[in-house]
Amino acid sequence: MAILNWNEKMLIGQKAIDEDHEKIANLMNEFHEKQDCDNGFIGSILQKLFDYIDSHFHAEERILKLIKYEGLENHTKEHEKIISKVKDYREKCEMGQISKEQVLDLMSSITIRHFLKEDMKFKEALTNRKA
Ligand SMILES: [Fe+2]
Ligand SMILES: [Fe+2]
């Protein structure tokens, strides 16, 4: 069963951002469903997660800068916290110190807490900008 069923209520209304969010939610769901994950596999998921969020956060920050989003500074700080957490997990994984559950918890916090709460805060600013 998927951890998060992506649906239209979760959309921000900006195609590139929404596609990235959905892609990362799918990565989490697929990882959740995968049986017998060894440490090497967990490491590959963490690397993919890092690549996805690193490029997503940069793209998102560029858009927020363009619309002069007033919460940009705080939002960028939230992104930095997530990036350093993923890097930390990636290092710990190399030493065999990270479990699948811990990675899933981190992914849930990125998708449910960040995408659906923090990112939702700029939905209105984006909509007004387009109007
Ligand atoms: Fe985002
Ligand atoms: Fe964000």
60 CA distance to ligand 2 middle (Å): 7
pTM, whole model, 2 decimals? Answer: 0.95
80 CA distance to ligand 2 middle (Å): 10
38 CA distance to ligand 1 middle (Å): 29
99 phi/psi in degrees, rounded to 5: -100, 165
Which alpha helices (DSSP H) does the chain contain, by range? Answer: 15-33, 39-66, 72-94, 100-108, 123-130
Please name each of the domains of the chain with its CATH number: 16-23+38-130 (1.20.120.50)
36 CA distance to ligand 2 middle (Å): 31
What is the per-residue pLDDT across 49-103, written as a single tens digit (0 to 9) for each? Answer: 999 999 999 999 999 999 999 999 999 999 999 999 999 999 999 999 999 999 9
Q: 42 pLDDT exceeds 80?
A: yes
15 CA distance to ligand 2 middle (Å): 14
69 CA distance to ligand 1 middle (Å): 14
Dist CA 81 CA 55 (whole Å):
15
Q: Structure tokens of 73?
A: 């500074």
State the chain's mean pLDDT as an integer.
Answer: 96
Summarize the confidence of residues 1-18 as an average pLDDT. 93
Instruction: Give Cβ neighbours of residue 107 (< 8 Å, ≥ 6 apart).
Output: 3, 24, 27, 28, 31, 49
59 CA distance to ligand 1 middle (Å): 9
pLDDT at 34: 95
- Given a contact cutoff of 8 angstroms between Cβ atoms, the answer to whether 97 and 39 are in contact is no
